[in-house]
């Protein structure tokens, strides 16, 4: 187990004037035992950054260190990491036991030690009764647990997860998230987990790195990122539904300045007798709560309500909503940065 450090990490494809830069100076210090989630939309550079840690992509500039040792020029096999992929990458002709043991056999680990490690990993992941099966006889969730087991037996310094839940259905994603949390509590191995799913990021991360267009927009705990987003991108990406960002209209009512954007989360708007006048465009019924998609002049506003609202509004209805004054966020309209 080890700390992980990014020092002005840059990635370019090509050279000279035609070079395309996809990572723009990533800096971060990750402590030993931390579980870090790298989250962002497709194409933001998160998987590229992970693959650079693994040694599967060259580092164009800057340094990556594992346990205080610069690994820029080390082969993947020399970095003491284990990676869990999106597509499981299991050998179809091997049993679960052999899939988990294969890397140790190649490393010439003694048979007794291999059995001890595989049995321990199987117990942690509840795979004990499946060790004699082939991958074709397993569910998607079971295959993903085998892939995690193969990584565990390596006893690496760092775990790397590359969108490992994206091939699972919704119920299995939740179940496997809980298993990954339990796994980290038991093993405490420094982990990097890449996802485009902000719900996965919020529920798994001790700290998260929010990426956008090759840049790290914010690095902090889920609470910090959600409650004090550093930019309009973070505000709109983290949260479901996203934060409302208003460029005009009600800003002046709350001390807004020219060139400022007002941010307010849907759950911090209250329907009442006074406040901003909005027209309901669409309603999403989500069981115990409703999302009201409204028009506020030329802008759109999402309002989250629950069953305590005495009368369910109808499409086309006019409502009054008031934001909580202590939950207002202000951003610079030109840079998108928090004011």
Q: What is the mean pLDDT of residues 17-31?
A: 93
Q: 252 pLDDT exceeds 80? A: no
Which pLDDT score is estimated for 308? 66
Within 10 angstroms of residue 226's Cβ, the number of other Cβ atoms is 18
Percentage of the chain beyond pLDDT 90 is 65
Burial 187-198 (b: 16+ CB within 10 A, else e): eebbbbbbbbbb
pLDDT at 310: 60
What local confidence, expressed as pLDDT, does residue 74 receive?
A: 95
Element (H, E) at 245: strand 244-246
Q: What value does the mean pLDDT take over residues 3-8? A: 96
Note if the bond before 2 is cis, omega within 30 degrees: no
- Domains of the chain with bracketed CATH: 4-236 (3.40.50.300), 241-252+261-332 (2.40.50.140)
State the chain's mean pLDDT as an integer: 90
Cβ contact 86:144 at 8 Å: no
Task: Check residue 154 and give its pLDDT.
Answer: 87
- What's the rounded Cα separation, in Å, for the pair 213 and 23? 8
Cβ–Cβ under 8 Å, residues 136 and 146: no
H-state helical runs in 125-266: 140-152, 170-187, 198-204, 222-227, 232-237
DSSP 30-49: E-TT-EEEEE--TTSSHHHH
Lowest average pLDDT, out of 45-49, 243-247, 311-315, 319-323, goes to: 311-315
- Which pLDDT tens digit goes with each residue over 151-194? 889 889 999 999 888 877 888 788 888 888 988 988 899 999 99
HEC assignment per residue over 306-328: ECCCCCCCCCCCEEEEEECHHHC
Lowest-confidence pick of 51-55, 68-72, 163-167: 163-167
pLDDT one-digit tens code per residue, 200-224: 999 999 999 999 999 999 999 999 9
Would you say residue 88 has pLDDT above 90?
A: no
Task: Give the mean model confidence (pLDDT) for residues 67-96.
Answer: 91
Distance of CA 333 to the CA centre of its chain: 26
Residue-wise pLDDT for 234-251, tens only, equals: 999 999 899 999 986 555
Strands 276-285 and 318-323: antiparallel
């Amino acid at each position: 187990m080890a700390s992980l450090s990014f020092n002005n990490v840059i990635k370019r494809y090509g050279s000279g004037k035609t070079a395309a830069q996809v990572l723009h100076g990533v800096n971060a210090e990750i402590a030993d035992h931390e579980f870090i989630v790298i989250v962002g939309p497709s194409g933001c550079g998160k998987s590229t950054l992970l693959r650079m840690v693994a040694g599967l992509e060259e580092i164009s500039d800057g340094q990556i260190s594992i346990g205080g040792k610069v690994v820029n020029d080390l082969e993947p096999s020399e970095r003491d990491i284990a990676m869990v992929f999106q597509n499981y990458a299991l050998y179809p002709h091997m049993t679960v036991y052999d899939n988990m043991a294969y890397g140790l056999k190649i490393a010439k680990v003694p048979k007794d030690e291999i059995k001890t490690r595989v049995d321990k990993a199987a117990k942690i992941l509840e795979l004990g009764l499946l060790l004699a099966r082939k991958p074709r006889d397993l569910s998607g969730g079971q295959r993903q647990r085998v892939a995690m087991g193969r990584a565990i037996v390596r006893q690496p310094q760092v775990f790397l997860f590359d969108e490992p839940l994206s091939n699972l259905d919704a119920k299995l994603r939740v179940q496997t998230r809980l298993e990954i949390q339990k796994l980290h509590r038991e093993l405490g191995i420094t982990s990097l987990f890449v996802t485009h799913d902000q719900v996965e990021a919020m529920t798994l991360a001790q700290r998260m790195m929010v990426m956008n267009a090759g840049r790290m927009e914010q690095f902090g705990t889920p609470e910090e990122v959600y409650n004090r987003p550093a930019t309009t991108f973070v505000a709109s990406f983290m949260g479901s539904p996203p934060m409302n960002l208003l460029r005009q209209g009600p800003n002046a009512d709350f001390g807004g300045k020219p060139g400022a954007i007002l941010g307010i989360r849907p759950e911090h708007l209250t329907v009442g007798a006074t406040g901003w006048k909005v027209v309901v465009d669409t309603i999403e019924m989500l069981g115990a709560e409703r999302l009201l998609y409204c028009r506020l002049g030329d802008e759109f506003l999402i309002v989250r309500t629950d069953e305590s609202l005495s009368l369910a509004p109808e499409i086309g209805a006019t409502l009054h909503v008031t934001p909580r004054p202590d939950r207002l966020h202000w951003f610079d309209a030109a840079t998108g940065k928090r004011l």
